[in-house]
Amino acid sequence: MAKTKNTHAFQNDIKHYDNIRDILRFLYMYGSYSKEELVKNKLAKSISSFYDTKQRIENYIDGEFLQKHKSTEKGSGKKYRFMYDPFICPVNYLAETYQNCSYVIGDFIFYFCLMQAFTDSEFRQLPYEYVNDAEYGEIDDCMAFNHEFTLNELITTIQLVFDANQELLENCNQVLCNDEQSELIFTMPRVRARINELTDLGILIRTQKDRYRLADDIFQNFDANELQDIQLMTQYFYNCSVITVPGFYLSSTIAEYSQANFISETDAFFNKQENPVFFYKNHRLQNVIDDDITWAILDAIHNRNVIQYSYRNKSTESKTFTVLPIKVVIDLQYGRQYLFAYDYDFKGFNIQRIASISDIKPSKAVTANQKYEFASNAKEYKDIHVLYDEQYHAHMKNVWNIARSDSPSTVLIHFCFPADVYEKNLSRLRSTCHCGTITELRGNKVDYTSTVQCESELVPWIKSFGSFATVDKHMNPNLYDKMKSDWEEALKLYGTI
Amino acid sequence: MELFNKYKNKNFTFITNYINSCINDESLTLTEDELREQLSGASQSTFEEFVLALTNAYTDNSDVNAAILYENDQSNSLLPLRQINVPIRATIAEKAWLYYILQNSKSDLFLSPTTKEKLVSALEDDFDNNRYPIKFDYIDIRTLSADTKSDFSTEYVNNFKMIVSAIKQHRTLTVTNNSFSGKIYTQQIVPYKIEYALQLDSFSLSCFPLNTKRPVKMNLSNISDISIGETLENYDEYLNDFKKQLRETKEKCPVTIEIQNQAEAYDRCAYLFSSYDTFCYDKGNDTLIMNIYYYRFQKEEIVRNILFLGRYVQVVAPENIVDDVSSSIKKAYMNYAD
C-alpha cells in the first residue's frame, strides 16, 4: 500500500465547474457522441483530457443514468448518452455533479477540528470520556454554540483539539504523532482564509470586526415529524423550482441533521436522492448545469452589482459583456433561462441565454455615476429594485413569451375543435395562451386575440394546434403568409405537395 | 458565496454522517476495508491521498494523517477519536432558497400552519437574512397560462395531504372523481405517486383502481371527495404489477425524427425533447437523427411537439406517426389554400 502522496494520480474532483459544464450539457442534450466527435466539437481539448473528463462524469453520476454503447457505424468507438425516464428515475441526477469540488487534506482537518470544538453548553459532551483518563477530561478545548471567538482564540483551541486527537491516535493505534503539524496546518493566514470561506458560506457569522461564532440552528425547534414534512417539501420543490442546487444541498443538510439528532434506521453515509411521492412531467434536468451561474446572477441583482462574463454566441465565438443584471427570466416552453440586463457597451437592454454565459465575475469597469445611466431619475429611488422592476416591465410590455420587437400588433386566431375533443382542446388553449382573450363562439369555434410585441413568436404554438387553428388573413396578413409558407414547406418534406 | 464549493463535497457529508452515526450508535461503525470500499467504490472516485489521511496510513512526516478516526482493537472498526457530534448548519444558499419556496403557496400543501410560521420566523430572524438573493422580484417565470392561480382551498390541501399519507404508508384510498366527460366515479384505488406537470402547474394522482387494475391518472382538482383506507399487505405486488403495465406501454419502436441544422432547429429540438428518453446521432449532410422512446400516452404530445418545431424537423418512423403528422399538416395547409 502506498504511503506517500502520488501527485500524478488522476484527480476525480475539480476546482471549477466550468471544466465539465459544456461536455455535460452536450452529452445530456445531444448524446450520443464518441470521443473523436467531442474533441472535434471542441468540448474536450484532447483525447487524453477527454478520458479524464469522461471518467469524472462516470464517477459523479450513477451508471444507471449514463449509458455506454457500441456504435453500429464502422470506425467509431463507444458512445455515451444520458437516459431520462420520469418513472424510472424521478430524481435530478445531474445535481450530484455539484458534490465534487476539490479540496486539500488541510481543509478537511480544519473543518472537522473546528466543528467538533463546538458543543451545547447545556448538554456538554465529553470528547474523550471513553479513554478513562482524567487528564483528557480536563482539556479546555470546547466552545459553546453561541460563543464569539477571535482568530487567535480559535487557533489555540483547534490546536489543542488536533494535538489531543493525535496523542490519542498514538496511544490507541501506535501511529506516531507529528508535533509540528498543528503549527503548520493552523497558521494565521490559513485559518483566516478558511474562516472567511465559512463565513461567506454562512456556516459561521462575523458578529464584529474580529469576532465570529457558529451560525444559528434554524431547525432547533422542530420535531422529527415536522422535519420529515420539511424534507418532503424540499424534495418536491428542488425538482421543479427555478434553481435546483441550493434545494438539493438543503435536502442533504436535513438528512444529515435528522441522522445526527434523531436516531434513524439508515446506515447510509452518502446522501442518496429519493423521490418517494412525486414524479415530474416534462422534467428537464439540464438547467441545473447552469445553477452556479444563475446563483451568481441573482446575487449580483440582490447586491446591485455590475458583472462581466464571457458569452458564446451561435457561432461558438466568445465575447465579453459588462452588464447590470436586472432579472432572471424563465421560459417554460423550451425550458430555457435568460438574463435581462443593461449592457454598458451596447447602451441598451439585452436578453441573453444563461446557458451561453460562463466565467462570471464582478466588474469594476463602471463608475458610480455610469451605473444607472439608463434612468436619469435613479437617485429618486429608495429601493433601486423598484427601478429594476419598472424598467423590466416597460421593456417586456406585451411580450408574448420572450421575443421583443419594435412593431407590436394585435393577432386574431380562429380555432375550430371537433365536438368530441372540444373541452380538452379549449382547456389546452386556455392553459398555454400566455395572455390575451378567448371568446367561445357557436359551432365549436373559439377566437383568440392578443396584442403582442412580436407576432412571429406565436408561430410554433399556433402550429401545435395543427388544422384546428387558422390565422386571420385581414388582421395579420404577414403572419398569415408566414404560416401558409411554413405549412407548404413542411408538406414538401412528406412529398404530398 | 460560491454555489460550487469544497465544503459541499460528498466526502464532507460522508464523514459528518459517519461521526454522528457512530457517536449515536456504535453498531453502525465500519472496518477500514469497509470504509475504503464505501468511499472509493468501484469507480475509485475518492482520491487516494484522502483515504490514506483518513485511515491514518501515512508514516512519512511530510504528509499528515487526519487523526479524525481510530481503529478499535477489539472490533477492528473505525471510531471517531473525538466523541462530539458535528453540528449541522444550513448555508446561506440553502436558507435563501428555503425562504423563497416558503413564499410559494404550494408550501401550504406540505406544512402545517404552525410549522410554516416557525420556519419563516427562524429565517427572518437569521443573522444573514439580508444576504438572501433568491427573491420573487428578481425572477420572472413566463407562465404559459393567462389565468392567475388562486390559493389552494382547505379541501384541496386536506386531499393532498391525505394522498401523500396514503402513498407513504401504502394505504388504499376511496376517491370521487369528476372526469372530463362529465361522469362522476367513486372507486377504491391503490395510489402510486403524484405527478406534477411543470408547464401546466398542476398535480395528478397516478393510481390503480382496485376493480380495473389498469393505471389511471386523475387531476387533483377534479377530486371532490376522498377517504383513506387500510394498509395494503401486498403493496409490493401492486407496485410490481403497475410497473410491469407501465413498461408494456413503452413503445419498443421509437419515433425517429430528422432535424436539419437550420434556424437553431437542433437546439430547439433538444430542449423540447430533453425530458424524453432520446438517442441522437449525426446522419451527416448537416442532419441530426433523434430517436424518441416514449410511452403510448405521450404520443399526442410528441406529435404536437413535432408540429411545433416546424419545417426543419421531419418524422420518418414509425409509419402511423408519419401518417398522423403529414395528414395534420395537409389539413392545416388547406385552411390557407384559398
Residue A32's pLDDT is: 60
Residue A3's pLDDT is: 41
Place of cell 465500519: B30
Q: Which residues from A are below 8 Å from B193, CB to CB? A: 90, 277-279
Per-residue pLDDT, averaged over A24-37, amounts to 72
CA Rg, chain B, in Å?
A: 27
Select from A102, A103, A100 the least CA-distant residue to A24. A100
Q: Which residues from A are below 8 Å from B3, CB to CB? A: 98, 245-246, 291-292, 295-296
Whole-number Å distance between alpha carbons of A224 and B23: 19
Spatial contact of A90 and B195, defined as CB atoms under 8 Å apart: no
Closest residue of chain A to B49, computed from CA coordinates: A5
Q: Which residues from B are below 8 Å from A423, CB to CB? A: 180
Inform me whether the pLDDT recorded for A314 exceeds 80. no
> One-letter amino acid identity for A25?
R
Residue A9's pLDDT is: 61
Q: Which residues from A are below 8 Å from B144, CB to CB? A: 332-333, 431-434
Burial of A267 (0-12, 13-18, 19+ CB in 10 A): middle
Cα A149 to Cα A84, A144, A340: the distances in Å are 49, 10, 43
Note whether A12 contacts B44, CB cutoff 8 Å.
yes
Question: Which 8-state DSSP code applies to residue B279?
Answer: E
Give phi and psi for A257, each to the nearest 5. Answer: -65, -45
Select from A290, A251, A289 the least CA-distant residue to A270. A251
Query: What's the mean pLDDT when you consider all of chain A?
Result: 88
pLDDT tens string A344-361 = 999 999 999 999 999 999
Residue A4's pLDDT is: 45
Cell numbers standing for residue A3: 504511503
Note whether B314 contacts A494, CB cutoff 8 Å.
yes
Find all residues with CB under 8 Å of A276, minimum gap 6, and list them: B167, B168
The residue count of chain B comes to: 338
Spatial contact of A206 and A216, defined as CB atoms under 8 Å apart: no
pLDDT tens string A53-69 = 877 888 888 777 777 66
pLDDT band, residue A238 (cuts 50/70/90): very high
Q: Which residues from A are below 8 Å from B61, CB to CB? A: 178
Find all residues with CB under 8 Å of B327, minimum gap 6, and list them: none
Whole-number Å distance between alpha carbons of B300 and A218: 47
Spatial contact of B48 and A15, defined as CB atoms under 8 Å apart: no
Note whether A334 contacts B271, CB cutoff 8 Å.
yes
Looking at mean pLDDT, say which of A37-51, A112-126, A340-354, B71-85 comes out highest.
A340-354
Residue in B63, B137, B198 closest to A5 by CB: B63
Residue A274's pLDDT is: 82
| Number of neighbours of residue A87 by Cβ within 10 angstroms | 16
Residues 270-299 of A with CB under 8 A from B: 270-271, 276-286, 291-292, 295-296, 298-299
- Of A121-125, A460-464, B241-245, B328-332, the one with minimum mean pLDDT is A121-125
Residue in B8, B97, B194 closest to A277 by CB: B194
Contact of B170 with chain A, judged by CB distance below 8 Å, is answered with no
Note whether B164 contacts A240, CB cutoff 8 Å.
no
| Number of neighbours of residue A148 by Cβ within 10 angstroms | 16
Interface test with B, best of A74, A84, A112 (most B CBs within 10 A): A112
Cell numbers standing for residue A298: 441573482
Whole-number Å distance between alpha carbons of A481 and A470: 11
Note whether A128 contacts B82, CB cutoff 8 Å.
yes
Distance from the B156 Cα atom to the nearest Cα atom in chain A, whole angstroms = 16
Interface test with B, best of A124, A328, A487, A492 (most B CBs within 10 A): A487
Note whether A30 contacts B28, CB cutoff 8 Å.
no
Residue A2's pLDDT is: 39
Select from B70, B2, B97, B61 the least CA-distant residue to A103. B2
Whole-number Å distance between alpha carbons of A366 and B148: 40
- Give the domain ranges of chain B: 6-80, 92-138, 154-248, 255-334
- Of A126-140, A390-404, A462-476, B90-104, the one with minimum mean pLDDT is A126-140
Contact of A162 with chain B, judged by CB distance below 8 Å, is answered with yes
Interface test with A, best of B105, B183, B275 (most A CBs within 10 A): B275
Spatial contact of B217 and B206, defined as CB atoms under 8 Å apart: yes
Residue A5's pLDDT is: 46
Q: Is A197 helix (H, G, I), strand (E, B) or coil?
A: helix
Assigned fold of A286-395: SH3 type barrels. (2.30.30)
Contact of A139 with chain B, judged by CB distance below 8 Å, is answered with no
Closest residue of chain B to A55, computed from CA coordinates: B43
Strands B255-260 and B313-317 turn out to be antiparallel
Max Cα–Cα distance, chain B, nearest Å: 92
Whole-number Å distance between alpha carbons of A167 and A178: 9
Contact of A246 with chain B, judged by CB distance below 8 Å, is answered with yes
Residue in B14, B60, B91 closest to A269 by CB: B14
Closest residue of chain B to A416, computed from CA coordinates: B335
Whole-number Å distance between alpha carbons of B60 and B57: 9
Distance from the A319 Cα atom to the nearest Cα atom in chain B, whole angstroms = 20
Whole-number Å distance between alpha carbons of A386 and A394: 12
Q: Which residues from A are below 8 Å from B130, CB to CB? A: none
* Exposure letters A281-297 (e unless 16+ CB within 10 A, then b): bbbbbbbbbbbbbbbbb
Strands B223-231 and A118-119 turn out to be unpaired
- Give the domain ranges of chain A: 18-99, 105-214, 217-283, 286-395, 409-493
Whole-number Å distance between alpha carbons of A220 and A214: 14
Q: Which residues share a beta bridge with B177? A: B185, B223
Closest residue of chain A to B306, computed from CA coordinates: A464
Give phi and psi for A74, each to the nearest 5. Answer: -70, 145
Whole-number Å distance between alpha carbons of A50 and A365: 36
Please indicate whether residue A27 or residue B308 has the higher confidence score (pLDDT). Answer: B308
Select from A391, A437, A390 the least CA-distant residue to A413. A437
Contact of A144 with chain B, judged by CB distance below 8 Å, is answered with no
Q: Is A290 helix (H, G, I), strand (E, B) or coil?
A: helix
Residue B85's pLDDT is: 92
Q: Is B329 helix (H, G, I), strand (E, B) or coil?
A: helix
pLDDT tens string A12-23 = 888 899 888 888
Note whether B83 contacts A291, CB cutoff 8 Å.
no
Select from A69, A71, A72, A89 the least CA-distant residue to A80. A69
Whole-number Å distance between alpha carbons of A130 and B83: 8
Spatial contact of A470 and A414, defined as CB atoms under 8 Å apart: yes
Burial of A408 (0-12, 13-18, 19+ CB in 10 A): middle
Helix axes A224-238, A245-261, angle to 10 degrees: 160
Residue A35's pLDDT is: 62
Per-residue pLDDT, averaged over A269-288, amounts to 87
The CATH number that domain B154-248 falls under is 2.30.30.520
Please indicate whether residue A275 or residue A195 has the higher confidence score (pLDDT). Answer: A195
Question: What percent of chain A has a predicted confidence (pLDDT) above 70?
Answer: 89
Spatial contact of A177 and B103, defined as CB atoms under 8 Å apart: no
Contact of A119 with chain B, judged by CB distance below 8 Å, is answered with yes
Q: Which residues from B are below 8 Å from A392, CB to CB? A: 140
Spatial contact of B195 and B203, defined as CB atoms under 8 Å apart: yes
Select from B146, B142, B199, B145 the least CA-distant residue to A329. B142
Q: Which residues from A are below 8 Å from B6, CB to CB? A: 101-103, 107
Q: Is B110 helix (H, G, I), strand (E, B) or coil?
A: coil
Note whether B272 contacts A334, CB cutoff 8 Å.
yes
> One-letter amino acid identity for B254?
P
Q: Which residues share a beta bridge with A195? A: none
| Number of neighbours of residue B163 by Cβ within 10 angstroms | 23
Q: Which residues share a beta bridge with A126? A: none
Note whether B44 contacts A13, CB cutoff 8 Å.
no
Note whether A229 contacts B110, CB cutoff 8 Å.
yes
Distance from the A345 Cα atom to the nearest Cα atom in chain B, whole angstroms = 23
The CATH number that domain A409-493 falls under is 3.30.70
Q: Which ipTM value was assigned to this complex? A: 0.94
Residues of chain B with pLDDT under 50: none
Q: Where are the alpha helices (DSSP H) in A144-261?
A: 151-173, 181-185, 188-201, 224-238, 245-261
Whole-number Å distance between alpha carbons of A104 and A244: 27
Cell numbers standing for residue A281: 412531467
Note whether B86 contacts A128, CB cutoff 8 Å.
no
Residue in B21, B94, B195 closest to A246 by CB: B94
Residue in B19, B24, B94 closest to A253 by CB: B94
Q: How many CA atoms lie within 13 A of A337 on its CB side?
A: 24
| Number of neighbours of residue A482 by Cβ within 10 angstroms | 16
Contact of A432 with chain B, judged by CB distance below 8 Å, is answered with yes
B255-334 classified as CATH 3.30.70: yes
Cell numbers standing for residue B132: 438572501
Residue B50's pLDDT is: 87
Whole-number Å distance between alpha carbons of A208 and A217: 20
* Exposure letters A170-181 (e unless 16+ CB within 10 A, then b): beeeebebbeeb
Note whether A230 contacts B68, CB cutoff 8 Å.
no
Question: Which 8-state DSSP code applies to residue A142?
Answer: -
Cell numbers standing for residue A73: 457505424
Note whether B199 contacts A332, CB cutoff 8 Å.
yes
